[in-house]
Amino acid sequence: MRIDKIRLKNFRCYEETEIEFHPNFNIVIGINGTGKTAVLEALTVAAGSFFLGIDYAENRHIRPEDIRVLSTEFDINEQFPVEVEAWGMINGEELNWLRELTGPKNKTTYVKALAIKELAKNIQDRVRSGENIKLPMVAYYSTERLWKERSDTTKISGSRLKDGYYNGLKATSNNKFFTKWFEKEEMVVLQQRKQSVGLQVVRKTVSNCVDKCENVYFDFNRRELIMEYEDGRKLPFRYLSDGVRNTLATVADIAFRCAMLNPHLGEDAAMETEGLVLIDELDLHLHPSWQKEIVNNLKSSFPKIQFIVTTHSPLILSTVQDRIVTMVDGKAYYSVNTYGRTANDVLRNVMATSERLEEVQDRLDMYFELIEVGEGFSENALNLRNQLEQDIGNDDPELARADVLLAFYDAD
């Protein structure tokens, strides 16, 4: 599955807008309240239309909280119709479909989404007949993924469709589930003396995301997951930070779903499975060193999956070569290339935010203005310089630049 474009009408904060997506990696940015999460929620409505044709999967309807409202001094008015239209491709077939809510007491329509429903039903029938058709992976990881417990943690039905699409649009990355699942799979391997494809795929993918990690396994004596490194060191999974543990659990959940959906692909399930993954706040609780690696880790681990994520991290933006969508006043703008740029440059020129406190930046701006008009040694300028040195230290690069300018103007 791939989504190339969506059109929203009266969906949450959007009166009407269109957003185009790159087939590989997309990052949606914007200040709080600009509708980043709303874009992901709309995409779950669009992608969830595929589940209309899958018996065991839960699709996503347009909900009351998705309806745009206009407030006046005396009233709050809901705006209809609410529409989510999408253009994309599933298993090589290009499609256009629409979900609509026409009134407060009505249900989300699917009459204009019959094509995607019938395609999904056809895929389901082919799977049930025993055909090794590739199934698309679809999952949404909201900010709830870090604290929401996953229910039914140990039940694996053995059905490609049921296991691979279970709770796909409200997926979690709970590391308790990750640990319990790993323990169960390791036990099956020991008891039945046969390899678990799911375990192989997950182990390979997690190891790929941790530098110099050679293996991941469940230690039955210690009752915990262990990371084994190339130099022989063994590190308990619990020693990793919350952000890293939950990121690895997200990666593991994606890999697990790929393996369940496409077991015939064997150890290459994660590399060969196509699909769509949505992640809200990709940088949540992640150390900067991991923020710089997470995009490359996801792209290398799942090269055929389309990712659409949100973030506030300039470090993450500096690692993206695909598409950055900036939401401003309900409209989408496509940013210039940010790959390889410094975090400060991204903050200033892409996110329109200063890397410094506003009051410090204001003093710097005033100081440089005085230098440029030849008043760099005035009493006002010297007072500003003294304040700045107290705030940011006399070795700050901007103050060093100021000294160069002072020497230049003084020489004149």
Last residue of a domain, one of 312, 330, 349: 349
Indicate if 251 and 398 belong to the same structural domain. no
Indicate if 364 and 281 belong to the same structural domain. no
Task: Measure Cα distances from 310 to 31, 102, 134, 143, 190 in Å.
Answer: 11, 29, 28, 10, 41
Indicate if 63 and 121 belong to the same structural domain. yes
The torsion defined by the Cα of 348, 351, 356 and 359, in degrees rounded to 10, comes to 100
Q: Which residues touch 142 (CB under 8 Å, ≥6 apart)?
A: 37, 40, 170, 280
Predicted pLDDT of residue 159: 85
* Contact yes or no for 216/229 (Cβ under 8 A): no
Indicate if 365 and 245 belong to the same structural domain. no
Rounded to an integer, what distance in angstroms lies between the CA atom of residue 158 and that of residue 212? 33
Q: Taking 90 as the threshold, does the pLDDT of residue 397 lie above it? A: no
* Lowest model confidence (mean pLDDT) among 139-148, 184-193, 250-259, 322-331: 139-148
pLDDT tens figures, 56-96: 898 999 999 999 999 888 899 999 999 999 999 999 999 99
Q: In terms of pLDDT, which residue wins out, 100 or 348?
A: 100
Rounded to an integer, what distance in angstroms lies between the CA atom of residue 120 and that of residue 129? 14
Q: Which two tokens stand for residue 105?
A: 């007491």
Indicate if 152 and 216 belong to the same structural domain. yes
Indicate if 266 and 391 belong to the same structural domain. no
Rounded to an integer, what distance in angstroms lies between the CA atom of residue 51 and that of residue 300? 27
Q: Which two tokens stand for residue 163?
A: 């296991």
Indicate if 129 and 200 belong to the same structural domain. yes
* Contact yes or no for 206/251 (Cβ under 8 A): yes
Predicted pLDDT of residue 154: 43
CATH number at residue 289: 3.40.50.300
Residue whose entry in the numeric block shows the structure tokens 């409200």: 170
- What is the residue-wise DSSP string for 338-368? -TT--HHHHHHHTS---SS-HHHHHHHHHHH
Amino acid sitting at position 46: A
Indicate if 389 and 251 belong to the same structural domain. no
Q: Which two tokens stand for residue 102?
A: 């026409």
Backbone angles phi and psi of 49, in degrees to 5? -65, -25
Rounded to an integer, what distance in angstroms lies between the CA atom of residue 255 and that of residue 249? 10
Helix/strand/coil for 72: coil
Predicted TM-score of the model (pTM):
0.86
Predicted pLDDT of residue 117: 97
Indicate if 316 and 400 belong to the same structural domain. no
pLDDT tens figures, 201-235: 999 999 888 888 899 999 999 999 999 999 999 99
Indicate if 275 and 381 belong to the same structural domain. no
Rounded to an integer, what distance in angstroms lies between the CA atom of residue 227 and that of residue 204? 12
Q: Which domain holds residue 252?
A: 2-349
pLDDT tens figures, 151-192: 544 456 668 999 899 889 987 666 677 788 889 889 989 998
Q: Taking 90 as the threshold, does the pLDDT of residue 50 lie above it? A: yes
Q: What is the mean pLDDT of the chain?
A: 90
Helix/strand/coil for 77: strand
Last residue of a domain, one of 309, 332, 349: 349
Indicate if 279 and 399 belong to the same structural domain. no
Rounded to an integer, what distance in angstroms lies between the CA atom of residue 314 and that of residue 344? 8
Rounded to an integer, what distance in angstroms lies between the CA atom of residue 240 and that of residue 259? 25
pLDDT tens figures, 349-367: 788 776 677 888 888 889 9
Predicted pLDDT of residue 266: 94
Q: In terms of pLDDT, which residue wins out, 243 or 409?
A: 243
Q: Taking 50 as the threshold, does the pLDDT of residue 33 lie above it? A: yes
Indicate if 67 and 173 belong to the same structural domain. yes
Number of domains in the chain: 2
Predicted pLDDT of residue 221: 95
Last residue of a domain, one of 323, 349, 375: 349
